[in-house]
Amino acid sequence: MRVVVVGGGICGLACTWRLQRLGAEVLLLEQTERVGGVIDSLEADGFLFERGPQSFLANASLLELIAALRLSEELLEANRRAPRFVLVRGRLYRVPMAPPALLTSPLLPLRARWRLLTEWARKSVPPEPDESVAAFTRRKFGSELLERLVGPFVSGIYAGDPERLSLRAAFPMLYDWERNYGSVIRGAMQSRRKTKPSNPKTRPVLANFRNGLRTLPAALHRALGDVVHTGTTVQAIEARQANGRPSITVRVVRNGLNDLLAAEAVVVATPAYAAAALLAGVAPRAAEQLAGIAYAAVNVVSTGYRREQVAHPLNGFGFLVPRSEGLRTLGTVWNSSLFAGRAPQGCVALASFVGGATDPEAQHARDEELLGTVSQENAAVLGISGAPVVHHLERYARALPQYNLGHTQRLQTIREDLARLPGVFLAGNYLEGPSIGNCVDVAFRTAAAVAEFFGTETTARRSGTGEFQKSP
C-alpha cells in the first residue's frame, strides 16, 4: 500500500502511525520545519506554557496511542472534581456538573431551573431546517441558560458563535435525543439505560504530559522516523486511471526543487482551506465546500504570577466569560492548579483566550493591547495585584473550524464528490470535532478506510497458482 499523507498535525501524524501498523508503505509530508501543528509547548523562566490547546480528554484511541508510544508514565491527570466557574455579574459561580446540582444552582434564575426540570414533559420535534445552538437552547430551555452556560461553553470548545453554530453538526447527540424521544432529558435517560453503566474512574479524564503537549507529536515523529519529510510543500494532487487502477501524483517542492511522487492513495490531513487548494483540480465540488468552512481567530495569552499576587485560591479548572459581561477575555485556565510543573515554586500559570467568532476584531489589536486587556480583566476577576512576572502571546488567524449552519450538508457534499475519486481521503478537525481525541479518532478511522480500500479494490494480485488473491 503506497500512501502519501499530507499534513503533519496530530491528524496526519496519528493516521501515518496507524497506516504503518496496518502494513502500508507511507510517506508524510509537512510544509513547515516541525510537526504537531498548533500543538506545541514553551518554557519561559521556569514556566511551562502551551502555545495552542492546553490539555486533552484522554479517550480510548488517545490512550491506545499513548501506551503504544510508551508515554503512559509521562501522563498527568487533572483532578476529576476540579470545578469549572462562570463569571456572572462580576462574580464567579461554580458550574454544576450534574443535573440535580443544576436545578439548585444560584447560577440560573428560578424560571430557567423550572424549564430544565419540566423539559421531559414537553414533547417537541426539531425543525427540519438546520437549527443553531442558540435557537435550540432558547426554544427548549430559555435565554438564561444560553447566556450563562451554553454560550460560554460554545466559546470554550469552538471559539464559536452560538447564533451561527449548527446543533446537528456540533452537538449531534442532542439533536438525535429530541428527534427520537421528543425530549433531551428523556433521550439522555434512555441512552444511559441502553449503555452499560460506566465506572467514573474509567471515563475520559482531562490530561497533559509532564513536559507539555509537545510530548505527543515529538514521540510520533521519533516513532515514524524518516517517513516524515518536513520542509516539503505540496502544490497539487492529480488523479487518473492507469491500467484500470487509480494512480495519484503528488506535486511537491522540497529543497527548492520540484518533484513528483506516485501513490496509490493520498490522505489530505491539512486544514480545510489548504485541502480545498490541493483538491481544486480533481474534486472541484468538494474543494468549493472545503473552502467555505469558516475559521475563528484565537489569541492565547499565557501569564505567570507570584502566588502572593493572586488573591483567588485558583481552586479548580478556570472560568468562562459570557459575552454579556462585556469582557474581551473568553476564558482563563488555571494550568498550575491542574498539572504539576507548570510554574516554579511559589508561582502560578494562567492561560487566557481572546477573539473567537464573536470578537474577530481582536485579531487586529496590537500585542500590547491584548496583553494589557487580559491582565486587567484577570486582575479584576481574580484579585491580582501587579504585572505578570512573565507573559507570552500566541496568535492564530485561523485557529478553529466553525461547525456553522449547513456544516452537515457541506460534509455530505464533500463525501459525495470524493466518492468519485478512488484513493483520496480526508482527515481533519473540521470533520468530527476539534479536540485532540476527536482528531485521533478520525485519523484511526481514516487509516482503516485506506486499508479497506486497498484490501477490496486495488491490491488484488496474481498468485503462483494463477488465482487472484488480495494483499493482507
User: Region 404-409: what's the mean pLDDT?
Assistant: 97
Cβ–Cβ under 8 Å, residues 382 and 312: yes
Task: Please say which residue of 401, 430, 445 terminates a domain.
Answer: 401
Does residue 87 lie in a domain region?
A: no
The CA-atom distances, in angstroms, between 343 and each of 64, 206, 334, 340 are 29, 19, 11, 8
Residue 244: what pLDDT? 64
What is the distance, to the nearest Å, from the Cα of residue 245 to the centroid of all Cα atoms in its chain? 35
pLDDT class of 204 with cuts at 50, 70, 90: confident
CATH number of the domain that residue 415 is part of: 3.50.50.60
pLDDT above 90 (res 278): yes
Residue 457: what pLDDT? 42
Residue 403: what pLDDT? 98
pLDDT class of 456 with cuts at 50, 70, 90: low
4: nearest Cα among 266, 248, 271: 266
Within 10 A of 323 (CB to CB), how many other CB atoms are there?
16
166: nearest Cα among 115, 129, 123, 141: 129
Half-sphere exposure of 250 (CA within 13 A, CB side): 25
Q: Are residues 162 and 307 in the same domain?
A: no
Does residue 78 lie in a domain region?
A: no
User: Region 206-212: what's the mean pLDDT?
Assistant: 97
pLDDT above 60 (res 320): yes
12: nearest Cα among 309, 455, 333, 425: 425
Q: Are residues 397 and 308 in the same domain?
A: yes
pLDDT above 60 (res 38): yes
Does residue 76 lie in a domain region?
A: no
pLDDT class of 304 with cuts at 50, 70, 90: very high
pLDDT class of 196 with cuts at 50, 70, 90: low
Q: Which domain holds residue 184?
A: 100-194
Residue 461: what pLDDT? 34
pLDDT tens profile 387-398? 999 999 999 999
pLDDT class of 467 with cuts at 50, 70, 90: very low
Residue 216: what pLDDT? 98
CATH number of the domain that residue 329 is part of: 3.90.660.20
Does residue 376 lie in a domain region?
A: yes
Between these two residues, 100 and 302, which has the higher pLDDT value?
Answer: 302
pLDDT tens profile 150-185? 999 999 999 999 999 999 999 999 999 999 999 998
Q: Are residues 288 and 309 in the same domain?
A: no
User: What's the mean per-residue pLDDT of the chain?
Assistant: 92
Q: Are residues 370 and 438 in the same domain?
A: no
Within 10 A of 414 (CB to CB), how many other CB atoms are there?
25
Q: Are residues 431 and 441 in the same domain?
A: yes
Q: Which residues pair with 252 in a beta bridge?
A: 234, 259
Does residue 201 lie in a domain region?
A: no
pLDDT class of 455 with cuts at 50, 70, 90: confident
Q: Are residues 301 and 393 in the same domain?
A: yes
Total count of domains within the chain: 3
Q: Are residues 23 and 143 in the same domain?
A: no
pLDDT above 90 (res 137): yes
- Percent of the chain with pLDDT strictly greater than 90: 82
Task: Please say which residue of 401, 421, 439 terminates a domain.
Answer: 401
Residue 242: what pLDDT? 65
pLDDT class of 65 with cuts at 50, 70, 90: very high
Cβ–Cβ under 8 Å, residues 270 and 339: no
pLDDT above 70 (res 35): yes
Does residue 45 lie in a domain region?
A: no
Within 10 A of 202 (CB to CB), how many other CB atoms are there?
8
Cβ–Cβ under 8 Å, residues 454 and 75: no
Cβ–Cβ under 8 Å, residues 152 and 392: no
- Percent of the chain with pLDDT strictly greater than 70: 93
Residue 192: what pLDDT? 75
Does residue 367 lie in a domain region?
A: yes
Residue showing cell 421528543: 182
Residue 105: what pLDDT? 86
Does residue 461 lie in a domain region?
A: yes
341: nearest Cα among 215, 445, 235: 215
C-alpha span between 368 and 355 (Å, rounded): 15
Q: Are residues 106 and 178 in the same domain?
A: yes
Q: Are residues 464 and 439 in the same domain?
A: yes
CATH number of the domain that residue 113 is part of: 1.10.3110.10
Task: Please say which residue of 373, 401, 429 terminates a domain.
Answer: 401
pLDDT tens profile 325-379? 999 999 999 999 999 999 999 999 999 999 999 999 999 999 999 999 999 999 9
Cβ–Cβ under 8 Å, residues 447 and 439: no
User: Region 435-462: what's the mean pLDDT?
Assistant: 81
pLDDT above 90 (res 470): no
Q: What are phi and psi of 466, to 5 degrees?
A: 90, -5
pLDDT above 50 (res 460): no
Q: Are residues 390 and 310 in the same domain?
A: yes
Q: Are residues 326 and 242 in the same domain?
A: no
Q: Are residues 363 and 451 in the same domain?
A: no
